[in-house]
Chain A
Amino acid sequence: MTVTELVSYEAALAGYDPVMGLEVHVELGTKTKMFCGCSTELGAEPNSQTCPTCLGLPGSLPVVNAIGIESAIKIGLALNCEIAEWCRFARKNYFYPDMPKNFQTSQYDEPIAFNGHLDVQLEDGEIFRVEIERAHMEEDTGKSTHVGGATGRIHGASHSLLDYNRAGIPLIEIVTKPITGAGERAPEVAKAYVAELRELIKALGVSEARMEMGQMRCDVNLSLMPKGSTTFGTRSETKNVNSLRSVERAARFEIQRHAAVLESGGTIVQETRHFHEEDGSTTAGRIKDNAEDYRYFPEPDLVPVAPAREWVEELRTTLPELPRLRRNRLREEWGVSEHDMQSILNAGAVELIVATIGAGAPSDQARKWWMGELARNANESGRALDELPITPEQVARVAALVASGDLNDKLARQVIEGVLAGEGDPDTVVDKRGLKVVSDEGALGTAVDEAIAGNAGIADKIRGGKVAAVGALVGAVMKATRGQADAARVKELILEKLGVSEG
Chain B
Amino acid sequence: MPGITREEVAHLARLARLELSGDELDHFAGQLDDIIGAVARVAEVAEQDVPPTSHPLPLTNVMRADEVRPSLTPEQALSGAPAQEQQRFKVPQILGED
Contact = CB atoms under 8 A, between A and B. Distances in A.
Interface of A: 30-32, 36-39, 45-52, 55, 57, 63-69, 86, 88, 93-97, 100, 144-147, 153-155, 157-164, 274, 285-286, 293, 295, 297-298, 300, 302-307
B96 to A, nearest CB: 6
Nearest to A100: B89
B91 A160 contact: yes
Interface of A, helix, strand, loop or mixed by DSSP? loop
A154 B54 contact: no
Nearest to B64: A63
18 contacts: A31-B66, A37-B70, A39-B68, A45-B74, A46-B88, A47-B74, A55-B72, A63-B63, A65-B66, A67-B66, A97-B91, A147-B85, A157-B93, A157-B94, A160-B92, A161-B85, A303-B61, A304-B60
Interface string B41-71: 0000000000000110101111111111111
B90 interface: yes
B88 A145 contact: yes
Contacts of B70: 37
B87 interface: yes
B97 A285 contact: yes
Nearest to B73: A48
A86 B61 CA distance: 10
A55 B77 contact: yes
B15 interface: yes
B68 A38 contact: yes
Contacts, number: 139
B4 interface: no
A50 B77 contact: yes
Closest 4 CB pairs of A and B: A37-B69, A298-B54, A161-B88, A66-B63
A65 B73 CA distance: 22
Interface of B, helix, strand, loop or mixed by DSSP? loop
B98 to A, nearest CB: 5
Contacts of B71: 38-39, 48-51
Contact of A47 (B57, B66, B87): B87
B21 interface: no
A273 B91 CA distance: 25
B39 interface: no
Instruction: Give the interface centre of B60, B62, B98 by most chain A CB atoms within 10 Å.
Output: B98
Given A154-B94, A286-B97, A303-B60, A162 B89 contact: yes
B53 to A, nearest CB: 9
Nearest to A294: B15
Contacts of B55: 88, 298, 300, 303-304
Nearest to B14: A293
A153 B97 CA distance: 10
Contact of B98 (A57, A274, A306): A274
Instruction: Give the interface centre of B62, B80, B93 by most chain A CB atoms within 10 Å.
Output: B93
A161 B94 contact: no
A392 to B, nearest CB: 29
B63 A97 contact: no
A161 B74 CA distance: 14
A147 B91 CA distance: 10
Given A64-B63, A64-B64, A47 B88 contact: yes
A97 B89 contact: yes
B5 to A, nearest CB: 15
B78 interface: yes
A66 B60 contact: no
